[in-house]
Amino acid sequence: MAIEVHGVNKSFGTTPVLREVSVDIASGSLTALLGPSGGGKSTLLRVIAGLEQPDTGTVVISGVDATRLSPQRRNVGFVFQHYAAFKHMTVYGNVAFGSPRCCCSTSRSGRWTRRCARSCVPGCAGYTTRCT
């Protein structure tokens, strides 16, 4: 799913939060937004997911203008990094934690198996054993 954001502006009252933001995210890419507190990262994610409407600009998802689509019709989700990761767990452990669909269990040593990591967290095989 490719995501394109073109010329997005968003203000809350008289406070501008996003100013002419444009970004292209290639399908299948892993993307992170980094910046200072209050820099508009969360607002941009909320605009992409449809939880906020931009004042101006467009959001295109998989070639379809999704700017006015409801969040349910966008099939987009996001995860905040800060406070969301358990520091004592690996990347895989954090992703799999609490997942009712995860078919995997821990080995006797308490570590997630490589087979499990590949089946439950596709595309993250090189990162699953790293600590967060």
Residue 43: the pLDDT is 94
* Shared-domain flag, residues 95 and 132: yes
**Do 91 and 132 fall within a single domain?**
yes
End-to-end CA, the chain: 26
- Expressed as residue numbers, the domain containing 125 is 85-132
Looking at the structure, tell me whether residues 11 and 67 fall in a common domain.
yes
Q: For 49-81, what is each residue's pLDDT tens digit?
A: 999 999 999 999 999 999 999 998 998 877 665
How many domains does the chain contain in total? 2
In-domain check, residue 106: yes
**pLDDT of 95 strictly over 70:** no
- Residues 120 and 65 both lie in one domain: no
Torsion over CA: 1, 7, 42, 69 (sign): negative
Last residue of a domain, one of 73, 101, 121: 73
Task: Out of 33-37, 50-54, 97-101, 105-109, pick the least confident.
Answer: 105-109
> Is the domain of 69 the same as that of 89?
no
Taking the C-alpha atoms of residue 44 and residue 59, their distance in angstroms, rounded to an integer, is 10
pTM score of the predicted model: 0.62
Q: Is 79 inside a domain boundary?
A: no
CA–CA dist 90, 96 (Å, integer) = 10
**8 and 67 inside one domain:** yes
- pLDDT tens digit sequence for 10-62: 999 999 999 999 999 999 888 878 788 889 999 999 999 999 999 999 999 99
DSSP three-state, residue 79? coil
